[in-house]
Structure 1
Amino acid sequence: MSALFSPRYLACFLLLGVLALGACQKPAADVDVNIHGVNYAGDAFSYYVIDPAKPASGAGGELINAFEAGGMTCCFTLPKVWRPGIKVRIDTTHWLPKRPDNSLPEVKQTHLVEVPRYADGQPWELWVLRAADGSVSVVSSDVEPDHEKWPGKVKGWPVPSLEYQRERWEILRRHKQSSVDNHISLLKSLERSPEMRAREAWEFEKQYLPAYVKGFYGPNDPAYRIALKKRYEDGLQESKEEVERWMENRP
């Protein structure tokens, strides 16, 4: 038998082939996934996702208000097959209460978190989760927080605290009350200085609300002043009713 086709030669040839094939095989492919953020805390924050192995190539991020969820940004790369030790770096910023000088101190933090085991064995969208205490974690999931198979520790979408609801309610109450106060001020101004108030209103409405001055010859037109007073009175009444409705819905 030729030495070229001897069993020993063929065995060596096959062994070399197997070794070469193993050396050429690539690791499991990576997968690009979208990024979402959910904020369960009572203050706004922004985040930016970074692969710690490639710190120069950041991924998506956004600003999310208190007790809210963000949109969808692109993208982060996850291994197709989960393994222990997959890390994600998340840079966050949140803000402390305003100082007496109206400055808004910001707090920047870096979180190095581990991606838990893929819930169903596959990499899905990366969710950045900020807990009520400000801690940050991630999960990979193809379902949203209100789904029964949601893998996050906190189940469901953020629910505003009663304190937060009342803070927001009070901000809007003051805004609605300011409309009442403004109409009262306008009526007093029209009563105290009718010529000046009518002239100022005419100049403004002529430029921005031309329909209001149509049919009148000028700010000294008595009919215009009557119409102006009527608009102020109607606006005051509507503003008061809006405040009353808002007061009935206090959290």
Structure 2
Amino acid sequence: MLKPIWKYAVPVLACLLIQPALTACSESTNVDVNLHGVNHTVDTFSYSVKNPALKDQPGAGGELIDPYGAGGTTCCATLPKTWRPGIKLQVNATHWVDRGPENGLLEVKETHLVEVPQYPDGKPGELWVLRTPDGKVAIVSSDFQPDHPNWPGKIKGWPVPSLKYRQERWKILLHHELGGIDDALVLLDELEKDPEKSAREAWQLAEQYDRESIKGFSGPNDSKYIIYLKSRYEKVLEYSRDKVKELMEVRP
């Protein structure tokens, strides 16, 4: 005796009806993976990624990555579940070239069609977009970070700043801390010469930007407030001097 076919036809029919909207009845051949950016250059870098095989899909990514830095985790790049030769992704990259204080930054936009390297363990991992030391764009599919022994990328480890870059950053930090010393000395000198005027000016600034610092004082003429200001300026001076000492010990 034949079994009634309607018992089996109903779920099949339901699946066919929802097929156009969902893809529940057949497993997708693609998978979405997280995106990361790594910048091995001195130029600030931004990127977005698009699978050109998916015409209606918008680009993903778009974060700014500092020189010799790495971005966070963004979503999402679409990769085939099964690797095959010739899979390519479109990487829209932007970097900014510093032309000096007088000329500012030059924005450079580029479009790269980059071939996806073979999945090292047979399945797509998270997608890493790298701006390589020579300014080119490469991609790596890996669930491991660049400093992991199993990282499959050609460039091993996180970005290492150049000596020139480290020297420039060091000079900026040193200049900042030396400025802190100068400012603290000026404030202490003014407070000693004319404590009432200095306290009045400090109070007015605190009312605008730091009201917490003046709680507990009756006003700018409060003798305790003047003592507080002197202690505060001395701490700033001590802090900046300590930072300068530290910087001199690690000069690149």
TM-score class normalised by the smaller sequence: 0.7 to 0.9
Per-residue deviation, 1:45:
0.2
How far is 1:175 from its partner? 1.7
Superposition deviation, residue 220 in structure 1: 3.5
Matched residue SS, 2:59? strand
| 1:143-197 alpha-carbon deviations (Å, 9 max, x no partner) | 2222223221111222222222222222222222221111112123224443321
Structure 1 position 100, deviation (Å): 4.3
Identity %: 54
Question: Aligned with 2:109: secondary structure?
Answer: strand
Unaligned runs of 5+ in 1: 1-25
1:211 is displaced (CA, Å) by 5.2
Q: CA deviation at 1:136?
A: 0.4
Structure 1 segments of 4+ aligned residues over 6 angstroms from their partners? none
1:233, CA displacement in angstroms? 3.1
Q: Which residue matches 1:38? A: 38
TM-score by length of 1: 0.78
3-state secondary structure, aligned to 1:74 = strand
Could you say which residue in structure 2 is the equivalent of 1:249?
Answer: 250
Q: Indicate how the Cα distance of structure 1 residues 206 and 87 shifts in structure 2: closer, same or farther if over 3 A, else same.
A: closer
Aligned counterpart, 2:83: 82
* Alignment length (residue pairs): 225
Deviation at 1:109, TM superposition (A): 0.9
Per-residue deviation, residues 52-99 of structure 1 (Å, max 9, x unmatched)? 234552232121112222221111221122122111111111111155
Q: Deviations over 1:5-55 (max 9, x none)?
A: xxxxxxxxxxxxxxxxxxxxx897222222111111122200010122345
2:7 counterpart residue number? none
Superposed displacement of residue 222, structure 1: 4.8
Indicate if the aligned counterparts of 2:88 and 2:113 stay in contact, CA closer than 8 A. yes
Alpha-carbon displacement from aligned partner over 1:192-230 (angstroms, at most 9, x marks no partner): 443321211233345625555635x54344554344334
Aligned position for 1:5: none
The answer for unaligned runs of 5 or more in structure 2 is 1-25
C-alpha distance in 2, partners of 1:147/1:73? 20
Question: CA-atom RMSD, angstroms?
Answer: 2.6
Aligned twin of 1:238: 239
2:43, 2:98 within 8 Å by CA — same for their partners in 1? no
